[in-house]
A = this chain, B = another copy of it.
Amino acid sequence: MVESLQIQLKKGVLEMCVLALLSKGDNYAYDIASRMAEAVGMGEGTIYPLMRRMQNDGLVSTYLQESGSGPPRKYYKLTKSGAQALKSQISDWQTFETAVRKILGDVT
């Protein structure tokens, strides 16, 4: 285990989940937030800064599309770099998960 917890937890899990969702198809922030809210309780206020960060990091690109219900949606699309990051983060996550399971050990 080389990386610090920061990478595993702080920069990590949310971004990884969003990348995973996008890997199944382009999507817009509001919908991503809804899914994540249901799954892991993430608030809507969290997603927009996160998406901007990911765009700055070159993990996603965006395009606008009219929706007919409300303002136009800003769709996010995984870049090659994003797909690569996803793979790497999944690997990190699994390593971390294994380490935690080992610490919990027979307490579980």
Question: Interface on A for B, CB 8 Å cutoff?
Answer: 1-5, 8-10, 13-14, 16-17, 20-21, 23-24, 35-36, 38-43, 46, 86, 90, 93, 96-97, 99-100, 102-105, 107-108
Contact = CB atoms under 8 A, between A and B. Distances in A.
B102 A39 contact: yes
**How many of these chains are in the complex?**
2
B13 A100 contact: yes
Contacts of A39: 1, 99, 102-103
A89 to B, nearest CB: 10
Contact of A108 (B8, B43, B90): B90
A8 B5 CA distance: 14
**Interface core residue of A9, A35, A42 (most chain B CB under 10 Å):** A9
Q: Which 9 A-B pairs have the closest CB atoms?
A: A4-B41, A39-B99, A17-B103, A1-B41, A20-B107, A20-B104, A40-B99, A9-B9, A23-B107
